[in-house]
Amino acid sequence: MAKRKARRPDAALADLIKISNLTGRDPRLVVGGGGNTSVKTTDGRYMYVKASGTALKDMDAGRGWRRLKLNEVLAILDDAALAALETNARETEIVRRLLAACADDMPASSRPSVESSLHAMLGRHVIHLHPTAIGSYVNAKQGRQQLEKIFAKESYPPLWVPYADPGFTLARRIQRLLATYRKQYGRHPSIMILEKHGLFVTAETADAAVRLVRRVIGRCRKPLLEPKVPPAGPVSAEDIIAAQLAIRGALQAATGQYLPVRHYLNNTVAAFQARPDAAALLEAGPLAPDEMVYANGPPVFAPDAGKQTLERVIQRRLAKALKAPAAFVVRPLGLFVATEPGQMETVRDLAYGSMYIRSQAARFGGVKALNRREQDFINIWEAESYRRQLAAGAAAGSLKDRIAVVTGAASGLGRSIAVGLARCGMMVALADVDASAAAETAGLIGRDHPRAALLVLPCDVTSEASARQAYRRLLNEWGGLDVLVNAAGVAPAGPLTDLPVDRWRKALEINLTGYFLMAQQAARILIDQGIGGSIINLSSKSGLEASRENTPYNATKAGEIHMARGWAMELGEHGIRVNSVCPGNVFEGSKIWNPQYIRSCAKKYGIQPDEVIPYYVNKTILKRQIKGQDIADAIVFLCSDQARTITGQTLVVDGGQVMVR
């Protein structure tokens, strides 16, 4: 969603932004960006509340909040007819009423927090968070007793709220508990601690609310033990990459999904994976709704990084009618996260928090997780379905989250191909010796496709060491590969009698050795990953039908086609398809069709330089200029499952200039 133009906030909105940003940017307070905030206006007519699916740290004057008519929100809780409705019907009606209660000019697609009714009952400034220090108690079997000890000397102790399904049911339960608390203490609580959920604080001012949050969390953190990292042997980069490929392959085989995989290791992970009860702690179940919505439940534990082991733990999760895990604790390597690029850090932080909480809860009687009925409610709850949709974003295309390397991506056809693949949802690594120009390609793609996952890979394709380093960086970032498009190339022209040998050798190095080295590294990765893949050589019509005074180009482009045919024979048994695309003359954005080359063509054919492009266009049957997108579309087709049985072939995209018979 485009960012709205910033406005001058009124005092209540300014306070909402302040408490949201202060808490949302503090990793000690927020796990995975979760939490809610609200502020009521001084006249008591309105309440500003965080919008669903927005990270607290990202809220500003132009996005991430809604303003509600307070009396209409409170009326929802007092409507007895709502309580009688079937769950889904009731929750859908509540969403409708909350949207109807909005009094602002924010887009209708931005929903008020589903907990708005709960916020409406509380004080002027409300902060709701899920910090790990609180989770260590609310997800422990003896957590309530521990909290009672911590706050034993409080004149107005925190209100403990037994677990209730979030939304309307939770709000109604708290409504009753608040009435009881008020009878006992003559006021509402300023602190509420919700079982299997988190922390609510309320205060009259923004500063007081933030101070209260920090005070509560500071006191809860004191009895906790920081993880002790046991001595461990070194973890090799090769072992990590092998595990990434194994996880990616196992997930694709089990679910059909293509996902990036990233490795993480910190003290929390190192200490947790060394515990003898690590697997049992994770198998206790999800701790809270966020862990289910964004991470598909807790991480799974794998005692080793073998592909069969990983397939087994994934199948065990699926056999329970649960979603495939997004996080894996693989002993002794650490944490691996497999999810959409935009959710990688959220899932990582949730996994860190989950391991920390489970370790602490083990000291307080054991883990108290969501039971199956509670999980089922979250899975079908309309509000969480909406959050999942927001997290996933708009449909990204037919090749969503497949990983491609495009060489020569800094300009010309390489740039056009990279744009076309990103438009179809692929994660695109832009490999080029000119890293600054490759970054320009990334900027161009990002402008039109802001959610595109892009990686600039500085790479000299003629250097084996450079090619190896580029792929190592790719695997460190994304943990896999699905497509290589060899598009880097040069076209030194000139008559045979005058052509310098160094220009011939340069063409051989870039157009042949470069294709070979990049394909060699790609093939090794694709074989190890075990889910097939596609290699595409960008050749030329000159690879099929030679052109005058073009010896290096004719030879290398023909060689690229023949290399692809041989690779197709070698790699087919691994499900790896290899094809060639032969473009006609593409002038748009081309470094090959520079003024010097155009002048040499004009001289060759006895025409003026400004007649060269019309001359070549007129040689095609379709009489139309070929664009970069035309080539990109052909590449997209060969990458797709629609071309799943096409290998060893040459697709000519030249407007009908060369007929392959």
412-423 helix and 628-639 helix, angle to the nearest 10 degrees: 50
For residue 553, indicate whether it is catalytic: yes
CA dihedral of 593, 594, 598, 601, whole degrees rounded to 10: -60
Q: What are phi and psi of 60, to 5 degrees?
A: -145, -170
Q: What is the C-alpha separation between 128 and 440, in angstroms, rounded?
A: 42
Q: What is the C-alpha separation between 36 and 290, in angstroms, rounded?
A: 13
Q: What is the C-alpha separation between 58 and 462, in angstroms, rounded?
A: 44
| Residue 316 Cα distances to 34, 323, 324, 336, angstroms | 29, 10, 9, 18
CA dihedral of 571, 522, 423, 577, whole degrees rounded to 10: 0
Task: Give yes or no for a contact between 581 and 639, defined as CB atoms under 8 angstroms apart.
Answer: no
Task: Give yes or no for a contact between 74 and 120, defined as CB atoms under 8 angstroms apart.
Answer: yes
| Closest by Cα among 531, 524, 576 to 241 | 524
Task: Give yes or no for a contact between 555 and 598, defined as CB atoms under 8 angstroms apart.
Answer: no
For residue 567, give both structure tokens.
Answer: 């690779």
What amino acid occupies position 65? Answer: W
Q: What is the C-alpha separation between 312 and 308, in angstroms, rounded?
A: 6
Q: What is the C-alpha separation between 251 and 104, in angstroms, rounded?
A: 44
Peptide bond into 332 cis (omega under 30): yes
DSSP per-residue letters across 390-415: HHH-S---TTTT-EEEEETTTSHHHH
3-state SS of 274-325 is CCCCHHHHHCCCCCCHHHHHHHCCCCEEECCCCHHHHHHHHHHHHHCCCCCC
Pairing of strands 125-129, 65-69: unpaired
Query: Of 181, 258, 553, 616, which one is the catalytic site residue?
Result: 553
Q: What is the C-alpha separation between 333 and 243, in angstroms, rounded?
A: 8
Sequence-distant (≥ 6) Cβ neighbours of residue 92 within 8 angstroms? 382
| Closest by Cα among 64, 78, 63, 70 to 103 | 70
Sequence-distant (≥ 6) Cβ neighbours of residue 112 within 8 angstroms? 49, 51, 52, 66, 68, 98, 99, 101, 102
* Integer-rounded Cα radius of gyration of the chain: 30
Tokens 């060491």 found at: 465
Active-site residue set: 553
